[in-house]
Amino acid sequence: MGSLTYYPNHVSFTCDKGFLLRGSEVRACQANRTWSGMNTRCEAVDCGPLAAPRNGSMSGSLTVYPNTKTFTCDRGFELLGSSLRRCTPSGLWDGTNAICRAVDCGPLSPPMNGTLSGHLTVFPNSFSFSCDEGFDLLGSSVRQCTAERRWSGTQTTCKAVDCGPLTVPVNGSSAGSLTYFPNKISFECDKGFLLDGSRVRVCQENRKWSGETTTCNAVDCGPLSIPLNGSRTGSLTIFPNVVKFSCDEGFDLLGSSVRQCTSKGQWDGNTASCKAVDCGPLAAPMNGSSVGNLTVFPNIIKFSCDEGFDLLGSSVRQCTSTGKWAGSKTSCKAVDCGPLPVPLNGTRVGSLTFYPNTMTFACDEGFLIRGSVTRRCQLNRRWSGTRTTCNAVDCGPLATPVNGSLAGDATTFPNIIRFTCDEGFDLLGSSARKCMPSRKWNGTLTSCKGKHVIHLMSSEDLGASSVHHQYVIDTSSLHHLNGNGRYPEGDKKGNLSKKCFIMLLLSDESRLRRGVRPPRFECENMHLKRSMEWDENYVQSNKILKNNIQVPLVAVDCGPLPSPRNGSMEGSRTFFPNKITFRCDKGFTLKGSSTRVCQANRAWSGETTTCQAVDCGRLNAPVNGSMIGALTVYPSVISFSCDEGFDLLGSSLRKCTSEGRWDGSSTSSVDCGPLSAPTNGSKIGSLTYYPNKVWFKCNKGFLMRGSQVRACQANQRWNGTRTSC
């Protein structure tokens, strides 16, 4: 207190509550410019040390005002007194002394039929338990008081020792069900059984039953013998077992088939024996005989048939164990040679096909019989003679008329041959002739008469320089001449046949053009001979004609043309200058020449004609399917099918039409395209084609919006709405 620092003023000092003043309480400024007294300071009061409680701890080391100390107890101990103490200005600690006391888990009772050792119930003491003899300890044998004021382990009890279950003897019974010390179980056997072992057994302290194992043994009736031709099933001869008897195949059992050992030690029933079964008598078949007369198992009887008879059924029959004859009934039937066909164009008399019947054959008018007229069924099951046929009579071949042709090559009854003449020739006689039953052709002889078209051959064969020419000449200007070079009386028109010959050179052609009468000809030895009655100038200017030159007179023939497959042709004349026209059936395209002309060089104009089927082009197998058929031309058909689990869309059958297009509609399986899994979700199903489905699922904590299931439809779209989570 005081702020003046010059002489002779003074300053006074005081300390705060809880602090003690050390040094001068008052100091004066002296004449020598120094303060009187000693330095002044304030020191905190000290409350002195505090001890940590036993089984506990203390935090805080300063003991002066205003510091504190905190107290805690170890695990399993509880604090009594102040947990916090402060040093006061008076120099004393506030509160009360801290003490740590062990927690108490409370008392434990000894188990029934047992004892307990130990008496302290506070932490960390323990109790030990034990059971009386004959008892097992269940639960904890030692229990300790824990820091949580609870006893460790589980409750302790003493349970009597258990000797375990005793098996009730087969064919016996027991009285008593308790299996622990000191209980007992009694036994007795059923009727027909004798007790072996202990009748009463007690559960002992050592967990074992007293006495010996108890069994019930059946009484024994003794062995039974096996019957002759039989067998026995079962070898046990004690009560209540049974023994079964059976007889061998073909034997009947007499006596008891089953015998049981009774409780009296005797077998019930009668002694078993076996007797052979009897199948009864068998009669010999009509038209046959039998060998053997024993009818009991396992004897046999043999059968045979008289000559000419077949044995039907079994040739050997055995008496079986079932008392029936094996095989089928035996009979004798006449041997059968089998049916004979009626010859084509003939008849048959007789229908019985077995020995010794006969069949007779005859042929229709116009047919001759070949083979046997009568055939007999023989013992060897074969028909006598040879196969019978009716062959049409043959009228023999007909000659093709000169300058003509015939159609038909069959010369037997009732075939017909038709005749035609080449262009430029008239048909004389019958145009069709039929082979008659009399082996003769009806109608009259056919021939072809020449018309007005004459073909003059080239003179190249004679070494001349002439070329090939064709002329149309009025046959009225050509005459037959007599040997004296005169016209025959009344013969104003010559008849030229294909067997005659003629020749004109180039100069002859020019004379014809000027209207000059052509040279005369005569037919000599089937050749036309130029008359020597010539114009002298004509002869002198053509020295080569002084000789009797002979050249064949022929109509040029190019030969037949084949009708194209899957097409047709119009025109049948194959000589110059005729033409033939071709066309193809619907669905086929013509390749080559549609019209061909017979040319003077004996060759047909154009190219070979064919009819090719139109091609509809390649078809592909549908995805997830297959197709059958590889040909793509008219009228081919291709079939389609889908794999299992797929529906076919479009046509299952498609045919290549005559227009070169496939009928029906395109075949395919419908694909709706992929669907993505929703964000924060998943999808089940990956197949995207009709009629498959896809399922959607959202993760936990997310709600589904849209369709949970979507199906691929036939219109290539997914049903439902887009799925989101």
Determine, yes or no, domain membership for 474.
no
> What pLDDT, on a 0 to 100 scale, did the predictor assign at position 379?
85
Q: Which residues, 6 or more positions from 225, have their beta carbon under 8 angstroms from its beta carbon?
A: none
Q: Give whole-number Cα distances, 684 to 367, 676, 687, in Å.
A: 84, 11, 10
* Mean of all residue pLDDT scores within the chain: 82
Determine, yes or no, domain membership for 545.
no
Summarised one tens digit per residue, pLDDT across range 649-683 is 788 889 999 898 999 887 766 778 899 999 999 99
Does residue 296 contact residue 279 with C-beta atoms inside 8 Å? yes
- E strand or H helix at 537: helix 536-541
List the 258-260 sheet strands across, edge first: 230-233, 242-247, 258-260
Q: Where are the beta strands (DSSP E) in 603-706?
A: 610-613, 625-628, 637-642, 653-655, 681-684, 693-698
The answer, yes or no, to whether residue 703 has pLDDT greater than 80, is yes
> What pLDDT, on a 0 to 100 scale, did the predictor assign at position 361?
93
Summarised one tens digit per residue, pLDDT across range 487-538 is 333 333 333 333 233 333 333 434 434 444 444 333 333 333 333 333 333 3
Residues 122 and 98 in one domain: no
Residues 415 and 388 in one domain: no
Q: Between β-strands 416-421 and 389-392, what pairing exists: parallel, antiparallel or unpaired?
A: unpaired
Q: How far apart are CA 122 and CA 128, in angstroms?
A: 15
- The total of structural domains in the chain comes to 10
The answer, yes or no, to whether residue 718 has pLDDT greater than 80, is yes
Determine, yes or no, domain membership for 382.
yes
CATH assignment of the domain containing 261: 2.10.70.10
Counting residues of the chain whose pLDDT is more than 70, the rounded percentage is 85
Determine, yes or no, domain membership for 78.
yes
pTM of the model: 0.29
Q: What is the mean pLDDT of residues 714-724?
A: 89
Residues 90 and 126 in one domain: no
Determine, yes or no, domain membership for 270.
yes
Summarised one tens digit per residue, pLDDT across range 242-278 is 999 999 888 889 999 999 998 888 999 999 999 889 8
Per the structure block, which two tokens stand in for 245?
């008897």
Confidence of residue 645 (pLDDT cuts 50, 70, 90): low
Of the listed ranges 136-145, 201-210, 551-560, 601-610, the least confidently predicted one is 551-560
Q: What is the mean pLDDT of residues 368-382?
A: 90
Determine, yes or no, domain membership for 479.
no
Residues 673 and 719 in one domain: yes
Determine, yes or no, domain membership for 80.
yes
Per the structure block, which two tokens stand in for 189?
């056997």
Domain residue limits at 589? 567-613
Determine, yes or no, domain membership for 540.
no
Cα 203–Cα 205–Cα 206 angle in degrees, nearest 5: 95
Q: How far apart are CA 24 and CA 35, in angstroms?
A: 10
